[in-house]
């Protein structure tokens, strides 16, 4: 879950490497480092801590090198120390590697290398790569040495390698961890191109929008003049170039103190963009272009399984409810990290839908590969065009919400919910969803951007509430039916960025155990809009109030009765029951944000977490 970057071209490499690392800081922030080839010598600088520590270490150094590697780390093997930071080198000090992934046969390889006289200095698994490459390197064929080293490794990798013996070359390889090659515009006529290779499009976007996505088992040989991609079979395949349809400003805070707040405030536009060109209101229909080729299979689907992790898993729970309540189509949601170990039986007619913002989530990738082996139709809901899940699924839907930088997902989750409603309409019109009902849902979907703006206008009210409860140690979130997953998501957001203990529960489960916890020190956040279970929610809140629990209610605008129970009320505009989750999650995102801010937490970079989980 680290970020790697390499540059080769005509410009000094260091500014490009550091800019790229800054834009990938959400992938890991335990330590960082760079390696360049300066006057024929390999020079490495690396520091533990945030990227600022590396920046400070480089402040008094000057490099003119036009080739280099950079790495920002989320530690797996070995503590985040200067020594364990990447890049790693071999015994000769001529080879440098940066690695995102995991080596599963580490013990075996370390023992073998040590027996051969190699001195491994770190506690990381990644250092093994440097020594394996050294073992096979003859000083003038780096790509062949990397290929031989990779045959020894079991695991996952996004890898980039340089050697001072071949100072005009970067060798990169991918298996399971994303790698993107950016093709820079020609600096001067007839003087060659520059190239950036990175884990993430965010690191490439300032320099070019023309990219090539490496596939699993690809090896790229990159010089200042050209590049070559070799597949596992040995065939050269440079793959089709793609254009990044993202705006550079999406990777900037634009005056906001944190990316998380910026991304929450973008949600009216996010909802509009997620629906753009996909609604046919006059017919009560939805068009999802990425699913056109599989519409006959969807029409005959007998079961839906959503696979996802973290926040995306909670989106899947809402998808499950939508499929069953609106269509009568059996559905379930599974943690992608467990799916391939459950020995699932997928009968004919099963459709597996993977949900992932990054499209690179390792567990979700493993789940879809398992589902494909079992014969299921596999679809994806992803945000990143060209990502692994987008390529490996048979068909799918893009969110089209731009870069999401904050580790805690907000706008992508809201978009996922919108896409799931669109999918419900699409499948519903193939089944028993009437035209009038579909038109009603579409009409209300079109009103959502304005209704979200109304919620965001309560930002100051929510911040005041957050300040009152920021120093509590525990918070419970409750909801019923389709809003129960929102209770889970609200609790997760709070845990992720404020480090408070929070739990999400079905409201009806309170008296089956959790009610024992409630006293005057416990805030209870209740998602209680005026829907089909409103009266049931009021009964649950009576139970909380009777035990002096401090209720923060998420309620429908105009609901005065709930004020008699709740200490604080945040109002939502009235909408359809199935659309309340899209509105209800927004005040919970803001509540988590402002509590974390009040507690002085690093909101965009919460400890122990990274944005894209690319190792299992």
Which are the catalytic amino acids?
2, 611
**Helices within 151-219 (DSSP H only):** 201-204
| Helix pair angle (459-469, 580-598), 10° resolution | 50
Closest by alpha carbon to 184, among 237, 218, 214, 224?
A: 224
Is residue 185 within 8 A of residue 208, CB to CB? The reply is yes
Cα-based angle 202, 203, 206 (whole degrees, multiple of 5) = 85
Cβ-proximal residues to 550 (8 Å cutoff; 6+ apart), any chain: 469, 520, 522, 523, 524, 567
3-state secondary structure at position 457: coil
> What pairing do the DSSP bridges indicate for beta strands 568-572 and 3-8?
unpaired
Is residue 333 within 8 A of residue 317, CB to CB? The reply is yes
| Helix pair angle (310-327, 411-430), 10° resolution | 20
Is residue 245 within 8 A of residue 386, CB to CB? The reply is no
Cβ-proximal residues to 531 (8 Å cutoff; 6+ apart), any chain: 481, 483, 577, 580
The number of residues making up the chain comes to 616
> What pairing do the DSSP bridges indicate for beta strands 155-163 and 88-89?
unpaired
Cβ-proximal residues to 143 (8 Å cutoff; 6+ apart), any chain: 169, 171, 219, 221, 230
Task: Report how far residue 403's alpha carbon sits from residue 599's, in angstroms, rounded to the nearest whole number.
Answer: 27
Task: Report how far residue 549's alpha carbon sits from residue 275's, in angstroms, rounded to the nearest whole number.
Answer: 40
What's the sign of the alpha-carbon dihedral 128, 130, 131, 136?
positive
> What pairing do the DSSP bridges indicate for beta strands 523-527 and 474-479?
parallel
Is residue 394 within 8 A of residue 422, CB to CB? The reply is no
**Helices within 431-483 (DSSP H only):** 435-456, 459-469
- Compute CA 336 distance to the chain's CA centroid, rounded to the nearest angstrom: 14
Record the tokens describing residue 307, joined without a space.
């696979």
Write phi, then psi, for 394 (nearest 5 degrees): -70, -35
Residue burial 275-292, b: 16+ Cβ < 10 Å; e: rest: beebbeeeebbbebeebe
Q: How many CA atoms lie within 13 A of 318 on its CB side?
A: 33
Task: Report how far residue 208's alpha carbon sits from residue 216's, in angstroms, rounded to the nearest whole number.
Answer: 23
Task: Report how far residue 505's alpha carbon sits from residue 517's, in angstroms, rounded to the nearest whole number.
Answer: 13
Closest by alpha carbon to 65, among 146, 148, 152, 168?
A: 168
């Amino acid at each position: 879950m680290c970020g790697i970057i390499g540059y080769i071209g005509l410009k000094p490499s260091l500014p490009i490497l550091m800019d790229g690392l800054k834009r990938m800081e959400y992938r890991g922030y335990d330590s960082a480092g760079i390696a360049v080839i300066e006057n024929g010598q390999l020079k490495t600088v690396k520091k533990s801590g945030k990227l600022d520590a590396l920046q400070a270490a480089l402040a008094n150094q000057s490099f003119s090198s036009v080739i280099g590697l950079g790495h920002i780390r989320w530690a797996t093997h070995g503590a985040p120390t200067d020594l364990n930071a990447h890049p790693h080198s071999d015994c000769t000090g001529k080879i440098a590697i940066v690695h995102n992934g995991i080596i599963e046969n580490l013990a075996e390889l370390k023992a073998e290398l040590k027996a051969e006289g190699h001195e491994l200095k770190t506690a990381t698994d990644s250092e093994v790569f440097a020594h394996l490459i050294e073992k096979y390197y003859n000083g003038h064929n780096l790509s062949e040495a990397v290929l031989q080293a990779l045959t020894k490794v079991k695991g996952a990798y996004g890898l980039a390698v340089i050697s001072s013996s071949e100072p005009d070359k970067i060798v990169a390889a991918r298996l399971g961890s994303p790698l993107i090659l950016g093709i820079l515009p020609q600096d001067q006529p007839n003087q060659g191109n520059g190239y950036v290779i990175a884990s993430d499009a965010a690191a490439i976007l300032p320099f070019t929008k023309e990219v090539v996505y490496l596939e699993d088992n690809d090896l790229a040989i990159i010089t200042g003049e050209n590049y070559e991609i070799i597949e596992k079979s040995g065939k050269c395949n440079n793959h089709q170039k793609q254009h990044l349809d993202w705006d550079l400003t999406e990777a900037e805070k634009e005056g906001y103190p944190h990316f998380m707040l910026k991304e929450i405030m973008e949600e009216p536009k996010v909802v509009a963009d997620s629906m753009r060109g996909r609604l046919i209101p006059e017919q009560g229909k939805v068009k999802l272009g990425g699913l056109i080729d599989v519409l006959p299979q969807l029409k005959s689907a007998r079961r839906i399984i959503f696979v996802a992790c973290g926040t995306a898993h909670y989106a899947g729970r809402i998808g499950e409810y939508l499929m069953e309540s609106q269509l009568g189509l059996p559905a379930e949601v599974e943690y992608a990290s467990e799916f391939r170990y459950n020995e699932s039986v997928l009968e004919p007619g099963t459709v597996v839908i993977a949900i992932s913002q990054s499209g690179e989530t390792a567990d979700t990738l493993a789940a879809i590969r398992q589902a494909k082996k079992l014969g299921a139709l596999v679809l994806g809901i992803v945000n990143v065009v060209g990502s692994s899940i987008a390529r490996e699924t048979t068909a799918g839907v893009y969110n089209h919400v731009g870069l999401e930088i904050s580790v805690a997902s907000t706008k992508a989750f809201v978009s996922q919910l919108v896409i799931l409603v669109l999918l419900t309409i699409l499948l519903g019109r193939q089944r028993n969803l009437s035209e009038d009902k579909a038109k009603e849902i579409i009409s209300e979907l079109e009103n959502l951007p304005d209704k979200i703006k109304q919620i965001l206008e309560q930002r100051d009210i929510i911040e005041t509430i957050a300040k009152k409860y920021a120093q509590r140690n525990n918070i419970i979130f409750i909801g019923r039916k389709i809003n129960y997953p929102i209770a889970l998501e609200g609790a997760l957001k709070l845990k992720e960025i404020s480090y408070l203990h929070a739990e999400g529960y079905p409201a009806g489960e309170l008296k089956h155990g959790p009610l024992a916890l409630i006293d005057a020190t416990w805030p209870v956040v209740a998602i209680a809009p005026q829907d089909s279970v409103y009266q049931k929610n009021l009964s649950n809140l009576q139970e909380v109030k009777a035990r002096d629990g401090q209720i923060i209610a998420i309620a429908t605008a105009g609901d005065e009765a709930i004020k008699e129970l709740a200490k604080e009320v945040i109002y939502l505009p009235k909408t359809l029951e199935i659309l309340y989750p899209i509105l209800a999650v927004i005040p919970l995102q803001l509540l988590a944000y402002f509590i974390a801010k009040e507690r002085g937490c690093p909101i965009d970079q919460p400890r122990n977490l990274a944005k894209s989980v690319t190792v299992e």
